[in-house]
C-alpha cells in the first residue's frame, strides 16, 4: 500500500500538471477568441518562434521515444502529432495572452475567462484520463 507521502507527492505532481495544462488551454481559448475577432496584430512576426518551439518538441519526442525502443513509425507519427499540438497551443496561447492584455474588457469583464477556464479544466481532466487510459480505448 502506498504511503501517505507518496500519495501526496503524486497528488502534487498531478495537480501541477493539470494546473499548467489548464492555464495553457485557457490562454489558447482566448487566442481562439482573438482569431475569431480578427485581432491577431503582429502575429506573422511571431510565427517563426512558434514553429521553432514546435520543432524542439518534435525532436524532443523523437529522442524520448527512441530511448524507450518504440517502433519507428510510432515514433515519427507521435512526434508529428505532438509538434502540431504544441504549435497550435503555443501560438493560440501567446496570441490569447496578447489579446487579453490589449482587450481586457472583452476577456475579463464579460466573465468569458471563467467559461474558458472551466472548459480548459474539463479538457485537462479528459486529457489526463486519455493519457492514462489510451490503451483501453485503442485496444
As for how many domains the chain has, the answer is 1
Asked if 86 and 95 touch (Cβ cutoff 8 Å), the reply is no
Which range marks the domain in which residue 102 is found? Answer: 4-138
Asked if 117 and 22 touch (Cβ cutoff 8 Å), the reply is yes
pLDDT tens figures, 85-128 = 999 999 999 999 999 999 999 888 888 899 999 999 999 999 98
Residues 6+ apart with CB under 8 A from 17: 128
pLDDT tens figures, 59-79 = 999 999 999 888 889 899 999
Q: Which residue do the cell numbers 494546473 mark?
A: 19
pTM: 0.83
Q: Is the dihedral of CA 67, 72, 76, 81 positive or negative?
A: negative
Amino acid at each position: 500500500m502506498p504511503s501517505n507521502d507518496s500519495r501526496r507527492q503524486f497528488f502534487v505532481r498531478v495537480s501541477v500538471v493539470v494546473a499548467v495544462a489548464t492555464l495553457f488551454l485557457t490562454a489558447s481559448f482566448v487566442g481562439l477568441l482573438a482569431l475569431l475577432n480578427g485581432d491577431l496584430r503582429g502575429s506573422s512576426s511571431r510565427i517563426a518562434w512558434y514553429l521553432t518551439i514546435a520543432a524542439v518538441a518534435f525532436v524532443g519526442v523523437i529522442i524520448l521515444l527512441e530511448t524507450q525502443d518504440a517502433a519507428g513509425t510510432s515514433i515519427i507519427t507521435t512526434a508529428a502529432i505532438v509538434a502540431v499540438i504544441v504549435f497550435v497551443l503555443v501560438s493560440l496561447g501567446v496570441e490569447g495572452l496578447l489579446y487579453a492584455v490589449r482587450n481586457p474588457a472583452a476577456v475579463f469583464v464579460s466573465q468569458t475567462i471563467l467559461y474558458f477556464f472551466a472548459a480548459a479544466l474539463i479538457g485537462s481532466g479528459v486529457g489526463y484520463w486519455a493519457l492514462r487510459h489510451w490503451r483501453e480505448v485503442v485496444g
